[in-house]
Amino acid sequence: MANVLVIKGSARKESTGSKATTWVVDTLKKVAPTATTEVIDLATFSLPLDAEPYIPAQQKYVSENTKVFAAAVSAADAVVFVTPEYNGSYPAALKNAIDHLFNEWNGKKALIVAYSPSGATSVVPVLETLLTRLSMNVVDKVALSTYPLGYEVETGLTAEFHRVAETETQAQLETALKAVVA
């Protein structure tokens, strides 16, 4: 039985990422009902920039949340990164979370699920480069354009996220998640 950790990379509390994460978790339950799933939401899980005095490779973590985060990544068979595209890249909060650890990522399966109104095509290769540098095994990437799902320029949010189920991206995510838990 696979243990999958889903990291919501947007730290915005009113976030399209919440809807994207629910979509990923619900699809995982559909394609792999026996898999266990844990979600870490970087909007609510605090990982301060200045909490750790030692370099991550030493694994001498000081803060309780870093220890919890390290244990969650260590226990996972695979990590799904659910990320928006910000200025052609990933959010600073996600980079900060990744930078809290080092050895825990090594050799772990990873799936990138990226979304943005323009289709998230820029963030995917940037995040893949980072994860590969950490010796993660990036098994697949899914890039979703939120514009057809009712992206609202005023709020930066996506209204009708359930409509993703009608797009070809649904099938891409199902294939990717099957590879993640295989």
Ligand X SMILES: Cc1cc2nc3c(=O)[nH]c(=O)nc-3n(C[C@H](O)[C@H](O)[C@H](O)COP(=O)(O)O)c2cc1C
Contact residues toward ligand X (CB under 6 A) are: 10, 12, 15-17, 84-88, 116-118, 146, 156-158
Structure token digits, residue 143: 């890039």
Least distance (Å) between residue 51 CB and ligand X: 23
Of the pair 85, 140, the CB lying nearest ligand X is at 85
Strands of 22-173 (E only): list them.
36-41, 78-84, 109-116, 137-145, 151-152, 157-158
Least distance (Å) between residue 22 CB and ligand X: 12
Of the pair 10, 66, the CB lying nearest ligand X is at 10
Of the pair 66, 116, the CB lying nearest ligand X is at 116
Least distance (Å) between residue 160 CB and ligand X: 13
Least distance (Å) between residue 150 CB and ligand X: 11
DSSP of 129-177:
HHHHHTT-EEEEEEEEE-GGGTEETTTTEES-GGGGGGSHHHHHHHHHH
CA-CA distance, 119 to 84, in Å (whole number)? 10
